[in-house]
């Protein structure tokens, strides 16, 4: 290392910091990804114990309060969520002011931020479970309001009698959904509610650790989720499958994509080095819920992509991730592609807020160190001499 380069970090050998791979950033009892085994656990429950058995609100209670609710507690939570779905007028006015072609994730980020400004009364204290409920209940309302406004339709008043999956679809599409539509969405919301120290959750915890407010933490988390390396992949999976179009095109399409160093959306994961258990559950749901031709195309694309990735990236252990079959399931539920990632945010708003509560309950400012690799001995040169 030259004398012009920082040497402070040389005292202790530091791990390669790029992407914080393998770095433990916080302690949590909420959820954990066992990457080698392909297991996901929420507060002690394997995801297979919950998916298809517990409703989304039960899982929200589990994450926020630490245990599954009894019937009276679940009824109470339903009532609280139902009573908190209304949006204040300044939030609606903010959404109305956005151009119709605004990406729904941008509208959500703006809407959550506006909610914090408009409802300072609700979100001005140290985040607590009541704030988590108040925010999570309004995330679907923000998305549904924008979804209708961009079509020139009036937002629908929420229905407190419906559960989250039903109410979200009702507010989006204007009809109380039948079981075929809301039940797979409910399972999807359970599967996506939390996922260890993922990028958006880390973002939320960093913001909460500064003693900022819940809406700020969730605004940041929405921004992090939007990127295609995190939650922004499922609509791109749909784009990919639509571009491929037919089983006969799968091999040439994938070959061309990999020859030009493109990432195949819906494959690979930082932590899973085995199949993502959520992908396995979603595959079964997609088979039951989606159009058979679309499922056949998805399945062939998956099989060929896995084979080609294994051949071209030996040792990388790239498997199907949650996003691949999310696309088929959410399309079957009746959602357009650009609402896939926002619907992920409906689920994850519960996990994010649970992490914020956990962070503030035992807070220490999250402020890591960096390995400085720049020069340290430059002299100022007046602008006329540069």
Catalytic residues: 269, 323
CA distances from 188 to 248, 329, 332 (A): 30, 8, 12
Site for ligand ACO in 321-360 (CB under 6 A): 321-323
Six token digits for residue 297: 């195309």
Give dist(CA 328, CA 300) in Å, integer.
13
Which of 205, 269, 283, 355 is the binder for ligand ACO (CB under 6 A)? 269
Six token digits for residue 383: 């602008």
> At its nearest, how many Å lie between ligand ACO and the CB of residue 74?
28
- When the beta carbons of 123 and 267 are compared against ligand ACO, the nearer one is 267
What angle is formed at CA 232 by the lines to CA 227 and CA 233, rounded to 5 degrees?
125
Which of 69, 266, 277, 342 is the binder for ligand ACO (CB under 6 A)? 266
Region from 9-17, 84-92, 120-128, 262-270 binding ligand ACO, contact rule CB under 6 A: 262-270
Q: Which of 365, 354, 346 is nearest to 141 (CA)?
A: 346
Kindly tell me the burial class for residue 125, based on how many C-beta atoms sit within 10 Å of its own C-beta (0-12, 13-18, 19 or more).
exposed
Give dist(CA 295, CA 268) in Å, integer.
20
Q: How far is CA 329 from the centre of its chain?
A: 16
Region from 45-53, 309-317, 353-361, 362-370 binding ligand ACO, contact rule CB under 6 A: 309-317
- When the beta carbons of 87 and 286 are compared against ligand ACO, the nearer one is 286
Kindly tell me the burial class for residue 264, based on how many C-beta atoms sit within 10 Å of its own C-beta (0-12, 13-18, 19 or more).
buried
Residue 95 within binding range of ligand ACO, rule CB under 6 A: no
> At its nearest, how many Å lie between ligand ACO and the CB of residue 261?
7
Region from 7-15, 48-56, 88-96, 308-316 binding ligand ACO, contact rule CB under 6 A: 308-316
Could you write out the DSSP letters of every residue in 271-305?
S-SS--HHHHHHHHHHHHHS-HHHHHHHHHHHHHH
> At its nearest, how many Å lie between ligand ACO and the CB of residue 139?
17
Residue 263 within binding range of ligand ACO, rule CB under 6 A: yes
Phi, psi of 334 (to 5 degrees): 110, 10
Which of 67, 96, 288, 316 is the binder for ligand ACO (CB under 6 A)? 316
**Three state DSSP letters for 342-353:** HHHHHHHHHHHH
The number of residues that bind ligand ACO (CB under 6 A) is: 21
Region from 73-81, 139-147, 292-300, 316-324 binding ligand ACO, contact rule CB under 6 A: 316-324
Which of 59, 81, 264, 286 is the binder for ligand ACO (CB under 6 A)? 264
Region from 2-10, 73-81, 311-319, 345-353 binding ligand ACO, contact rule CB under 6 A: 311-319
Residue 180 within binding range of ligand ACO, rule CB under 6 A: no
User: Nearest residue to ligand ACO, using CB?
Assistant: 268
Site for ligand ACO in 228-247 (CB under 6 A): 228-231, 233
Phi, psi of 33 (to 5 degrees): -100, 115
What residues line the site for ligand ACO (CB under 6 A)?
19, 228-231, 233, 263-270, 309, 313, 316, 318, 321-323
């Amino acid at each position: 290392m030259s004398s012009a380069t920082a040497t402070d970090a040389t005292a202790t050998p530091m791990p390669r910091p790029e992407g914080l791979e393998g770095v433990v950033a916080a302690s949590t009892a909420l959820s954990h990804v066992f990457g080698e085994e392909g297991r996901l656990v929420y507060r002690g429950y394997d995801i297979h114990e919950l998916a298809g058995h517990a409703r989304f609100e039960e899982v929200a209670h589990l994450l926020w309060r630490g245990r599954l609710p009894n019937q009276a507690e679940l009824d109470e939570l339903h009532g609280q969520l139902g009573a908190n779905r209304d949006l204040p007028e300044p939030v609606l006015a903010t959404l109305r002011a956005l151009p119709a072609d605004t990406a729904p994730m941008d509208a959500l980020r703006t809407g959550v931020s506006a909610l914090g400004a408009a409802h300072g009364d609700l979100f001005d204290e140290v985040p607590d479970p009541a704030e988590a409920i108040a925010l999570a209940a309004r995330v679907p309302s923000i998305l549904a309001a924008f979804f209708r406004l961009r079509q020139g339709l009036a937002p629908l008043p929420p229905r407190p009698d419906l559960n989250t999956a039903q109410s979200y679809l009702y507010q989006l599409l204007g009809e109380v959904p039948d079981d075929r539509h809301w039940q797979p969405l409910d399972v999807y919301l359970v599967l996506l509610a939390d996922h260890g120290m993922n990028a958006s959750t880390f973002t939320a915890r960093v913001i909460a650790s500064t003693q900022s407010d819940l809406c700020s933490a969730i605004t940041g988390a929405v921004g992090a989720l939007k990127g295609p390396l995190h939650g922004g992949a499922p609509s791109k999976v749909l784009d990919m499958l639509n571009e491929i179009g037919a089983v006969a095109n799968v091999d040439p399409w994938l070959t061309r994509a990999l020859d030009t160093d493109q990432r195949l959306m819906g494959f690979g994961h930082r932590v899973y080095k085995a199949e993502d258990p959520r992908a396995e559950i979603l595959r079964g749901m997609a088979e039951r819920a989606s159009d058979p031709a679309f499922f056949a195309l998805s399945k062939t694309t998956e099989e060929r992509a896995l084979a080609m990735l294994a051949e071209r990236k030996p040792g990388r252990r790239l498997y199907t991730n949650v996003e691949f079959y999310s696309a088929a399931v959410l399309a079957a539920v009746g959602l357009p592609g650009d609402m896939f990632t926002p619907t992920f945010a409906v689920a994850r708003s519960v996990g994010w807020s649970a992490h914020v509560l956990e962070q503030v309950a035992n807070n220490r400012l999250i402020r890591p160190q960096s390995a400085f690799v720049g020069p340290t001995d430059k002299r100022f040169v007046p602008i006329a001499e540069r």
